[in-house]
């Protein structure tokens, strides 16, 4: 962490608890808040795929089959999000 500060690089990673190694110098930056906002937007579909799309442990073997299942699950996620967006 101190090497990053000496190089004037601000790390962007999640603060997992109050007692995390990430201190106030990192979390008070506006870039950190922006990073956390984008992180939530990016991780939401993957959480949906694991819970609703049952992608936690796939029953398929082989990269091609798992890839096609993942694409189908994410397409379903897009349809669910689209329904919610158009309904509002």
3-state secondary structure labels for all residues of the chain? CHHHHHCCCCCCCCCCCCCCCCCHHHHCCHHHHHHHHHHHHHHHHHHHHHHCCCCCCCCCCCHHHHHHHHHHHHHHHHHHHHHHHHHC
5-33 pLDDT tens trace: 788 776 666 666 667 667 677 677 777 78
- pLDDT of amino acid 87: 80
- pLDDT of amino acid 45: 93
Domain ranges of the chain: 2-87
- pLDDT (mean) for 55-65: 90
């Amino acid at each position: 962490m101190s090497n990053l500060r000496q190089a004037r690089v601000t790390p962007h990673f999640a603060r997992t608890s109050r007692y995390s190694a990430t201190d106030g110098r990192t979390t008070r930056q506006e870039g950190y808040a922006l990073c956390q906002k984008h992180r939530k937007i990016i991780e939401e579909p993957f959480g949906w795929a694991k819970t609703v799309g049952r992608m936690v442990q796939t029953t398929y073997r082989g990269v091609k089959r798992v890839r096609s299942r993942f694409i189908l699950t994410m397409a379903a996620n897009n349809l669910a999000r689209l329904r919610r967006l158009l309904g509002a």
